[in-house]
Chain A
Amino acid sequence: MQPEQQLKASLKEIGDLKAALDEHAIVAITDPRGRITYVNDKFCAISQYSRDELIGQDHRVINSGHHPKEFIQDLWSTIGRGKVWKGEIKNRAKDGSFYWVDTTIVPFLNDDGKPRQYIAIRADITERKRTEDQLRASFKEINDLKAALDEHAIVAITDPQGKITYVNDKFCAISKYSRGELIGQDHRVINSAHHPKEFIQGLWSTIGRGKVWKGEIKNRAKDGSFYWVDTTIVPFLNDDGKPRQYVAIRADITERKKAEEKVLQLNAQLEQRVAERTAELEAFSYSISHDLRAPLRAMGGFARMLQEDFGAELPPEASRLLERIHVNAMKMGLLIDGLLAFSRLSRQPLNKSKISPGAVVNRVLEELQSETEGRNVKITVGNLPACQADATLLHQVFMNLISNALKYSRRRDPAIIEIGSGEENGHCVYSIKDNGAGFEMKYAHNLFGVFQRLHRAEQFEGTGVGLAIVRRIIHRHGGRIWAVAEPEKGATFHFTLEGENNHV
Chain B
Amino acid sequence: MSNEAVEILLVEDSPDDVAFLVRTFNKANLTARLHVVADGKEALDYIFCTGDYATRNNGNQPKVIFLDMKMPKVGGLEVLRRLKSDPTTQSIPVVALSSSNEERDLIESYRYGVNSYIVKPMDFDQFAKTIRSMGQYWLELNQTPKL
Binding site for B on A (CB under 8 A): 286, 289-291, 293-298, 300-305, 326, 329-330, 333, 340
Contacts and interface: CB of A to CB of B under 8 A. Distances in A.
A208 B124 CA distance: 85
A297 B100 contact: no
A326 B124 contact: yes
Given A329-B122, A330-B122, A330-B123, A301 B99 contact: no
A302 B122 CA distance: 12
Given A290-B99, A290-B100, A293-B100, A300 B16 contact: no
Nearest to A286: B102
B100 A304 contact: no
Interface size bucket, B side? 10 to 19
Contacts of A302: 16
Nearest to A298: B16
Interface in B27-59: none
A289 B122 contact: no
A335 to B, nearest CB: 11
Interface in B105-147: 120, 122-125, 127
A289 B102 contact: yes
B38 to A, nearest CB: 15
B14 interface: yes
Contacts of B16: 294-295, 297-298, 301-302
Interface string B4-30: 000000000010110010010000000
Given A289-B100, A293-B120, 8 more contacts: A286-B102, A297-B120, A298-B16, A300-B124, A301-B124, A305-B23, A333-B122, A340-B100
Interchain residue pairs A-B with the least CB separation, the first 8: A289-B100, A333-B122, A298-B16, A304-B124, A301-B124, A293-B99, A290-B99, A290-B70
Contacts of B123: 300, 330
Contacts of A326: 124
| Binding site secondary structure of chain A | helix
A304 B19 CA distance: 13
A301 B20 contact: yes
A12 B33 CA distance: 158
B20 A289 contact: no
8 contacts: A290-B98, A294-B17, A297-B17, A297-B20, A298-B16, A301-B127, A329-B122, A330-B123
Given A294-B16, A301-B20, A289 B124 contact: no
B122 A293 contact: yes
A214 B23 CA distance: 82
A297 B124 contact: yes
Given A289-B99, A289-B100, A305-B23, A300 B122 contact: yes
A297 B122 contact: yes
Given A289-B100, A289-B102, A294 B122 contact: no
Contacts of B99: 289-291, 293-294, 297
Of listed A290, A295, A297, A304, residue having the most chain B CB within 10 A: A297
B46 to A, nearest CB: 23
B132 to A, nearest CB: 14
Nearest to A333: B122
Contacts of A333: 122
Contact of B127 (A286, A297, A303, A329): A297
Contacts of A290: 70, 98-100
B128 to A, nearest CB: 9
Nearest to B103: A344
Interface string B73-109: 0000000000000000000000000111010000000
A301 B125 CA distance: 8
Given A290-B70, A294-B14, A298-B16, A305 B124 contact: yes
A348 to B, nearest CB: 9
Among B16, B98, B122, B125: residue with most chain A CB under 10 A: B122
Contacts of B124: 297, 300-301, 303-305, 326
A479 to B, nearest CB: 25
A326 B125 CA distance: 11
Contacts of B70: 290
A330 B127 CA distance: 12
B52 to A, nearest CB: 26
B12 to A, nearest CB: 11
A289 B103 CA distance: 12
A49 to B, nearest CB: 108
A305 B21 CA distance: 12
A83 B107 CA distance: 117
A305 B22 CA distance: 13
Contacts of A286: 100, 102
Contacts of A329: 122
